[in-house]
Structure 1
Amino acid sequence: MATIRKLRGRWQAQVRRRGMKPRCKSFDSKLEAEKWARELEAQVDRFGAAPDTRILESTTLSELLERYKTEVSPTKRGSVQEVQRIDVLKRHDIAYRTMVGLSPQDITSFRDERLRSVAPSTAVRELAILSHVIEVAIRDWGLPLAKNVVKLVRRPVIRNERSRRLTGNEEQRLLDGCDGGKILFFKTLLILAIETGMRRGEILGLRWTDISHNRRVITLTMTKNGSGRQVPLSQRAFDALMDWKNRAAVDQSIVFPMTAGALEQAWRRLLIRIDINGLRFHDLRHEGVSRLFERGLNVIEVSSISGHKELRMLKRYTHLSADDLVARLG
């Protein structure tokens, strides 16, 4: 057991274990001394010896975030978004804490602070990054931490399920509204999104060589979940793509040459132009997946088209029309 005593106005913690040199450290409070002693004893139990923790006293979370951004983030498909989130994390007070003093209470305070200004989903993503940074530091960089403190903190509950689908004549208004815009292929892009339920990134990354004309199939080599899949095209989607191909530039390899930011701007302008509210571009994926079910496809068939690996996630995107289900029941 550790010895905790008050010495010259400060609290001193001393840890003695057989086979190791005694370690002691002074703190401003008894609570900090006890915490340090418990963590050191846990490290002895884990590693069989007391590691040199002096590096924890000089290493800040910000330094780990920067190293992670340089060495780990570039290897990921979503590296751009992750780097942006890391830069945000580095601007918060928690980034300046040294690893020896980083506690679950610090993470909890950071979580609660972020929830006052961002959505729970954003806070969860930021906590996930912090957790993986510390995990990599322990496993790959040899940082002598006894535990990952982020894993001890409860994650916010995400309730962002949406049931928004196209109603009335909204689909026709969307397509007709594209005629008044400057992006020639925007109508084709929307038709493809509605007919296939493909993700925004998959649509924008599509190349003409990914489309098999004789099979009427799109081959996606890499998707969000880390694997590829094949997406069959309805006659409507195929005809729209071929019509755009006949009008596109001959040397154009990308089907829809625009960035994600440009798409969002064009989408917002379109909604304003046709006076539709509360509709997101991602809702077209909801619409597409729901229509696949309404056409009579089963869960396995729909998941092979949409790319969902979990039924739980597929259910979130699926909002069937009660009227259509009544008709099918007879």
Structure 2
Amino acid sequence: MVANMGTITKRTTSKGEIRYRALIQVRKQDINFNESRTFSKKALAEAWIKKREAEIEENPDILLGKNSTAMILADAIDRYLEEINEALGTSKRYKLKFFKQFAFCHKRIDQLSREDFAQYILQRRAGIPEMGLDPIAKSTADQEIQYLRSVLNHAELLWNQPAPTKELEQAARGLRNARQIAGSETRSRLPTSHELQTLTSYFHDRWENTNTTMPLHLIMWLAIYTSRRRGELFGLRLDDYDPEHGVWLVRNIKNPNGAQGNNKRFKVSAQAKQIIDQLLDPTVRKKMMRLTDDGSLLLPLEAGAVTRVFTKACKIYGIEDLWWHDLRHEAATRLAEQGLTIPQIQQYTLHDSWSSLERYVNLDLIRKNVLEFDDAIKM
């Protein structure tokens, strides 16, 4: 009879969350067995150990498995998130956690096949109504493949795990041939003045007449006037702001070579400063911080929740195909329309390459009567 193989270790994550790592380990004679999973509650960890020990007792050959030390993919994701932590962007961190609700994430990584990856992507492309998930674009599917690839490569290179990287690549190749995944296409969608006015009026009314903690009429225009990505915008720390010199330090900026330590200062325009001053007004600040005690950030709000409200508002008013990231394109376009050169635009947007900004400075048409915040808020 097999007994007492399992142990539970309590850990605290970098965010202060409690996790329980359940480990089943057997070291004797020719057996070298190691299997673990991480849970949010101790009772769940105990139940998993009891269930797994019963399975091993019924089938001792499990202990002799060729790749018995392979991790469950969900556990590999948890460990990856803990080890990489600050180097990850908000979107990637959210998506990796999102994966864990699917069945393939609860298989040992050495048992994952190209069919598992392909089936998941095809499901996502078609949409999963029972989970409330709409179909995703080819570029989004390709990005999810990349996120999975990063975890498996990390597991193989750093933890000596039998990661199915070749299986994932074969799945990606087949999905690309079937035109189910593809790289991102260059978007040209910009919000119209009418759309910006509609959203500003709606968000301002919502701020004035409900208990919302989100001054989206200010946040939307802050995104435009600072040209910051979503993760950067909601990560702006007050102690990194230098109003005297008109700059703000952005930490861990997205970069192909890794975000960790890639810190840069962007130029704060007069229009951006106007919005920042309003966000720092004690009355606004008090309402924003109603659900948090963390006063270190300019926007002490959950980025995903804010952008979901933005997306919902677009649906309410029939504003089609407008993404939050399009506000960054709007920002760069406005700077180019003002006659700024690429090096000057980079002081605001912090783009690394000239090529990514060329489409803004080579505009075929300069817009007239572009809506500004001061005019929008008067309506």
Q: If the length of structure 2 is used for normalisation, what is the TM-score?
A: 0.58
Return closer, same or farther for 1:125/1:230 CA change in 2, 3 Å cut-off: same
Deviates more, 1:65-74 or 1:280-289: 65-74
Who is 1:116 aligned against? 126
Q: Distance in 2 between matches of 1:304 and 1:280?
A: 24
Residue 214 of structure 1 aligns with an amino acid whose one-letter code is: E
| 1:62-81 → structure 2 map (5 Å cutoff) | 63-74=71-82, 75-76=84-85, 77-78=88-89, 80-81=93-94
Cα deviation for residue 180 of structure 1 reads: 0.9
Who is 1:258 aligned against? 301
Q: Distance in 2 between matches of 1:144 and 1:166?
A: 47
Q: Distance in 2 between matches of 1:88 and 1:161?
A: 31
Residue 264 of structure 1 aligns with an amino acid whose one-letter code is: T
Aligned residues: 267
Q: Distance in 2 between matches of 1:262 and 1:109?
A: 29
Residue 166 of structure 1 aligns with an amino acid whose one-letter code is: P
Gaps of 5+ in 2: 1-63, 128-135, 287-292, 369-379
Gaps of 5+ in 1: 1-53
| 1:161-310 → structure 2 map (5 Å cutoff) | 161-182=186-207, 185-225=215-255, 226=259, 227-247=262-282, 248-249=284-285, 252-268=295-311, 270-271=313-314, 276-310=319-353
Residue 330 of structure 2 aligns with an amino acid whose one-letter code is: E
1:323 aligns with 2:365: yes
Q: Distance in 1 between matches of 2:72 and 2:317?
A: 48
Return closer, same or farther for 1:71/1:57 CA change in 2, 3 Å cut-off: closer
Who is 1:149 aligned against? 167
Q: Distance in 1 between matches of 2:309 and 2:112?
A: 44
Contact 1:135 1:148 in 2 (8 A): no
Who is 2:100 aligned against? 87
Who is 2:158 aligned against? 140
Cα deviation for residue 238 of structure 1 reads: 1.0
Return closer, same or farther for 1:108/1:319 CA change in 2, 3 Å cut-off: farther
Residue 220 of structure 2 aligns with an amino acid whose one-letter code is: L
Write out per-residue CA displacement over residues 274-301 of structure 1, whole angstroms, 9 at most, x where no aligned residue. Answer: 6644433221111001112222223333
SS across alignment from 1:224: coil
SS across alignment from 2:100: helix
Contact 2:279 2:285 in 1 (8 A): no
How large is the RMSD of aligned CA atoms in angstroms? Answer: 3.7
1:131 aligns with 2:131: no
Residue 148 of structure 1 aligns with an amino acid whose one-letter code is: K
Deviates more, 1:201-210 or 1:244-253: 244-253
Return closer, same or farther for 1:104/1:311 CA change in 2, 3 Å cut-off: farther
Write out per-residue CA displacement over residues 213-249 of structure 1, whole angstroms, 9 at most, x where no aligned residue. Answer: 1112121122233112212122122122223323444
Contact 1:294 1:324 in 2 (8 A): yes
Return closer, same or farther for 1:66/1:297 CA change in 2, 3 Å cut-off: same
Contact 1:293 1:302 in 2 (8 A): yes
Cα deviation for residue 58 of structure 1 reads: 4.4
Write out per-residue CA displacement over residues 253-308 of structure 1, whole angstroms, 9 at most, x where no aligned residue. Answer: 43223212331243246446766444332211110011122222233333343233
Contact 1:165 1:284 in 2 (8 A): yes
SS across alignment from 1:218: strand
Return closer, same or farther for 1:301/1:145 CA change in 2, 3 Å cut-off: same
Contact 1:202 1:223 in 2 (8 A): yes
Contact 1:204 1:258 in 2 (8 A): yes
Contact 2:80 2:151 in 1 (8 A): no
**Structure whose alpha-carbon radius of gyration is higher:** 1
Identity %: 25
Residue 146 of structure 2 aligns with an amino acid whose one-letter code is: A
SS across alignment from 1:323: coil
